[in-house]
Structure 1
C-alpha cells in the first residue's frame, strides 16, 4: 500500500464520525497541509461535534473547557477510534478518564 491508500483506508468512510474530522484536519488529503485545530459540526446524527485537535506522538495539549460544571464530555481519536475517554467538568478542575 502507498500513503494515499493507507490514508483512504483510515479516513475515507463517508457518513462516519471520523469522516468530517479527517476532512477538517486534512482538507487536501495525504501529504497536504494539516489544520491542527478545527471545529467539527454535528454530523452524522448523534454526533454533537465540537473542537478537534491534531496531537503528535509525545505531544501534550492544554485547552480551556467552557462547558458547565457537571458536564461529561466524550472524546475519541479519529485515527484510532477505539481510543476513547471522558472528561467530567468540575468547578475549577476536571477529571479525565481514558
Structure 2
C-alpha cells in the first residue's frame, strides 16, 4: 500500500515554495527560479498577487532572512507597481 500524501495547500499546491524554505543553503537565484515555476503553474484567474501576499505573510515572520522571503517581497513589489501602470494610452486619447 502506498504512502498517503498530505493535503494540498491551495496557495502552493505543488509544494514548491514550502520546499524552497526547507532546502539548506538555497540562494536567491534558485529561489527566483522556483518562484517563476510556481507562478507559471498558476492559472490566470487564481489571484496570484493575493497568493504571493499570503505566502509572504506566512513565511516572513519565521524566515525573514531567507532568500525566498526576499523573492516573495520582490514579487509583491512588482505586482503593485504593475497594478499602478496605465494601459491603453492610445485608446484613452
What is the TM-score of this pair, normalised by structure 1? 0.29
Structure (1 or 2) with the larger CA radius of gyration: 2
What is the TM-score with the length of structure 2 in the denominator? 0.30
Give the structure, 1 or 2, with the largest relative contact order (CA under 8 Å, sep 6 or more).
2
